[in-house]
Structure 1
Amino acid sequence: MSTAELTETPKLGPLYLKAAATAPLRRGDPARAELPDTEYVRSDVPVDSEHLADYNRICGFGTRDELPLTYPHVTSFPLAVRLMTDRGFPFPLVGLVHVANSITRHEPLLVTDTLTQRVRLAGPRPHPKGTQFDVVTETGVGGRTVWTETSTYLHRGPENDSAPRQEGIAEVEAGRPTASWKLPGDLGRRYAAVSGDRNPIHLRPLAAKAFGFPRAIAHGMWSAARCLAAFEGRLPAACTVDVEFAKPVLLPSRVEFTERGAPDSAEKSFALHSTAGKTHLRGRVRRNGTENAA
């Protein structure tokens, strides 16, 4: 694997234009697809306090010395887009479906930390509905890797009944919600302004309809962040959070958050449902064995 050190954060505007212009060229045989063997590294990344405050507001986090568990996803997102718009990347960026996410935190990140982030691709591998691959991110402080993430994306293709089916996260029964949240119609645009993720399905109803959705839909990582904000102050210092994204959250709408598990248990389950009981997201929080592992 080759490593490329970037001296500045990639600008997303030109990358999105590149993705649109090259989309017709990225339609080869998924069964023969290969991912670029490159890792991008960005060092000395400071935490922008104003940007962090905006992120906290839109996702429901309070003001704390610790960074929200999901915040490094946002700071590394331009590196991921850079990888997925490189010449050798086989799939069109628009149309990829974020199906799952897993974050492991070895120790809390602080607002005063300066980050080093490394992003690479893994896979591809068959999925019953096409081909999936991972964006793998590592965030370090002072030479220690303290936060890792695997974002799994699906490129839709022909049905593949022979693809292995992995055991997913257990369902959390709808009903008796822990909290209920009313989501405004402009939530996708507001989160896009903070996260940089300007996929058109999140921005306007007409753009979403072009991709088969009746209205704009919320970002999956906003949904994950909003659920984790409900755990704020109660997440173990060392933990792993896994989420799977199911039915999209249409905007505007009302959603119901449900948490299950004893206060002192090593694992808790959670879910986000529609008021009609459809699952938008299911997840689990697991306490890691060593709180201060490096």
Structure 2
Amino acid sequence: MANLTLLYAKAALTGFTRRGTELPDSSLDAEVTVDPAHLARYAGVCGFGLRDQLPITYPHVLGFGLQLRLMTGPGFPFPLPGLVHVANRIRQHRPLLVTEPLSLHVGLGNLRPHERGRQFDVVTTASVDGEEVWVDVSTYLRRGGGTVETGTGTAGTDSARADPPAPTARWRLPGDLGRRYADASGDRNPIHLHALTAKAFGFPRAIAHGMWSKARCVAAFEGRLPDAYEVDVRFKAPIPLLGEVDFSSAPTGDGWRFALWSRKPHLEGVISG
């Protein structure tokens, strides 16, 4: 993995110089193998069991260093501090085995208007022997100068006004969850680590990683998912640490719908075949 702490420091020091209206035409590639000890840490903090197949969310952390390098690299127009991860969609074409080397490719694209600013995608693919087996699309929002068009946002307000779904489980989130997930994922964004560092960015307490919340939800369906499927989530509101969240799930025609709530919706997602 790249030294992500240094990349975050670079982002903090150079963010004020970043200006632009276009994404650079750049991408990065890497060949990776799975470290069983690292996978075990990740599985433990996210609630997955240890199996010979990778959790669908795990290749995201293998590619996170490449994603961060692109977003701190030359020509990237937005300062990393202040970007909001608003959505993530992952499709697995078949199970990925722990023993399989993965070829990762990460690129930027689809810069487009959002009602609160502009949004873009970071697309990560994993291939085995030249065959694409896994695709991850993370959508980020850069606030400011947004449009007033309806339907362009990924974090709408309808669910914020709706009654919460009936919970099927309640999860207590410890105060060190952000640090534990950072150790497993490499994502050491200060807003997730300590109350003091989170306050510097406007949060009263540290908040849980969005990709931890997605992984924890997927882990709740372990043993009930097909070999090939997609998990699409929208991140609605930060989850403060420590705290409690209600998890709800319900079957759909070809999968599941699920959500995390406390006093407000934090995450809403769909699993489909």
- Short-chain TM bin: over 0.9
Q: C-alpha distance in 2, partners of 1:160/1:258?
A: 33
Q: Which residue of 1 aligns with 2:260?
A: 272
The question of 1:10 aligning with 2:23 is answered no
The question of whether the paired residues in 2 share the 8 Å contact of 1:127 and 1:163 is answered with no
SS of match in other structure, 1:189 = helix
Q: Which residue of 1 aligns with 2:46?
A: 59
Code of the residue aligned with 1:92 in structure 2: it is P
The question of 1:105 aligning with 2:95 is answered no
Percent of residue pairs bearing the same amino acid type:
55
Match of 2:202 among 200, 204, 212: 212
SS of match in other structure, 2:106 = strand
Q: Closer, same or farther in 2 for the Cα pair 1:173/1:56, shift >3 Å?
A: farther
RMSD: 1.8
SS of match in other structure, 1:211 = coil
Q: Which residue of 2 aligns with 1:253?
A: 243
The question of whether the paired residues in 2 share the 8 Å contact of 1:130 and 1:155 is answered with yes
Q: Closer, same or farther in 2 for the Cα pair 1:167/1:199, shift >3 Å?
A: closer
The question of 1:201 aligning with 2:191 is answered yes
Q: Report the count of equivalent residues.
A: 270
Match of 1:221 among 211, 216, 222: 211
Q: Which residue of 2 aligns with 1:119?
A: 106
> How many Å apart are 1:159 and its aligned residue?
3.9
> How many Å apart are 1:173 and its aligned residue?
5.5
The question of 1:281 aligning with 2:271 is answered no
Moved over 4 A (4+): 166-173
Code of the residue aligned with 2:268 in structure 1: it is R
Gaps in structure 1 of 5+ consecutive residues? 1-8, 288-294
TM-score, normalised to structure 1's length?
0.87
TM-score, normalised to structure 2's length?
0.94
Q: Closer, same or farther in 2 for the Cα pair 1:141/1:164, shift >3 Å?
A: same
Q: Closer, same or farther in 2 for the Cα pair 1:206/1:167, shift >3 Å?
A: closer
> How many Å apart are 1:53 and its aligned residue?
0.1
Q: C-alpha distance in 1, partners of 2:37/2:56?
A: 17
Superposed CA deviations along residues 133-185 of structure 1, whole A, max 9, x for unmatched, are: 10001001121100001000011113421475257799595243111110011
The question of 1:68 aligning with 2:58 is answered no
Q: Which residue of 2 aligns with 1:231?
A: 221
The question of whether the paired residues in 1 share the 8 Å contact of 2:4 and 2:188 is answered with no
* Equivalent runs, 1:24-35 vs 2, <5 Å: 24-26=16-18, 28=19, 33-35=21-23
Code of the residue aligned with 2:7 in structure 1: it is L
Q: C-alpha distance in 1, partners of 2:22/2:261?
A: 36
The question of whether the paired residues in 2 share the 8 Å contact of 1:76 and 1:137 is answered with yes
Gaps in structure 2 of 5+ consecutive residues? none
Q: C-alpha distance in 2, partners of 1:285/1:149?
A: 14
Match of 1:132 among 119, 137, 147: 119
Q: C-alpha distance in 2, partners of 1:12/1:177?
A: 36
Superposed CA deviations along residues 31-73 of structure 1, whole A, max 9, x for unmatched, are: xx11111121112x11000000000000000111110010000
The question of 1:181 aligning with 2:171 is answered yes
> How many Å apart are 1:212 and its aligned residue?
1.9
SS of match in other structure, 2:68 = helix
Q: Which residue of 2 aligns with 1:290?
A: none
Code of the residue aligned with 1:40 in structure 2: it is L
Superposed CA deviations along residues 71-98 of structure 1, whole A, max 9, x for unmatched, are: 0000000000010011100111121100
Q: C-alpha distance in 2, partners of 1:233/1:95?
A: 37
Match of 2:139 among 134, 138, 152: 152
